[in-house]
Amino acid sequence: QVQLVESGGGLVQAGGSLRLSCTASGRTFSTYAMGWFRQAAGKEREFVAAIRWSSGITSTADSVKGRFVISKDSAKNTVYLQMNSLKPEDTAVYSCAMVTSWRGALTTPTAYDYWGQGTQVTVSS
């Protein structure tokens, strides 16, 4: 069993920055990739960013490209999401996900095996 715990969410003014962390614990025998998704009130869950564990290759959604950066600390089983130039439309619950082997495109939630509970990010205008 794997548990993912996010932290770092909170309130921030538009134009500000925030860094989210997600740490995996439990029986983490291997990691293929970890990713971030978000879900705003009344909206569907959407892909934000993902990182492949071995290569470090990243992908980011067009809506956050140039503003958000995903990174990892493999030794700590931790993935980060550095969020800069935040906008009110970034307000959402941000969730971390992990997959132990390839299951599909990392931009879709169905590719992942494990999910955290999420952390609220609120950007004021």
Residue for token pair 């705003």: 40
> Cα–Cα distance between 5 and 75 in angstroms, integer?
16
Q: Residue 110 carries which DSSP code?
A: G
Rounded Cα–Cα distance for residues 3 and 57 (Å)? 23
Q: What is the DSSP letter of 113?
A: S
CB count within 10 Å of CB 11 equals 12
For the chain, 125 residues long, give each residue's pLDDT as a single digit of tens.
Answer: 899 999 999 999 999 999 999 999 988 778 999 999 999 999 999 999 999 999 999 999 999 999 999 999 999 999 999 999 999 999 999 999 999 999 999 999 999 999 999 999 999 99
- Residue 121's pLDDT is 98
CA torsion, ordered 1, 28, 108, 12, to nearest 10 deg:
100
**The pLDDT of residue 1:** 84
Instruction: Give the Cα separation of 31 and 18 in Å (integer).
Output: 25
Candidates 12, 30, 2; CA nearest to 125 is: 12
Return the pLDDT at 27.
Answer: 81
Question: What was the pLDDT predicted at 28?
Answer: 74
